[in-house]
Amino acid sequence: MENLNARWTTSYWSQTYSAWEQIPIPIGNHNPGLMLAFKQSLPRAIANTKGLQVDLLRPHLIAGAWITHNFMGWYDGYDHYRMAEDLDIAAWDWYVGTGHHDY
């Protein structure tokens, strides 16, 4: 924990940690080191979770069934291309009536 506290300058932010369980999920403004670590680990966690779901589904699907994900908006919190790697089809959900015509 000493290394983490030093890298994140937690003493400056009055957030020195002594156990992993104390580290919060950052919501709103937070320690920049914690925010960076969270943003770097989130895409991997999302892709891994989706990958586990795909791996569990595939053996139980009927022949010809495909797995897709419904993307909407360009959220920069994860890599859309990595998320789509093991899908059969990547779908895009576009709500015409919203007035946000960003192709």
> 33-83, pLDDT tens digit by residue?
999 998 888 888 888 898 999 999 999 999 999 999 888 777 777 788 888
> 35-49, pLDDT tens digit by residue?
999 888 888 888 889
Structural domain boundaries, residue 47: 2-22+30-98
pLDDT level of residue 99 (50, 70, 90 thresholds): low
Please answer whether residues 43 and 78 qualify as being in contact, where contact means their C-beta atoms are separated by less than 8 angstroms.
yes
- Please report whether residue 65 resides in a domain: yes
Report the 10 Å Cβ neighbour count for 40: 9
pLDDT at 87 over 70: yes
pLDDT at 96 over 60: yes
Q: Cα 19 to the chain's mean position, in Å?
A: 24
Per the structure, how many domains does the chain have?
Answer: 1
- Please report whether residue 103 resides in a domain: no
- Please report whether residue 12 resides in a domain: yes
Please answer whether residues 67 and 57 qualify as being in contact, where contact means their C-beta atoms are separated by less than 8 angstroms.
yes
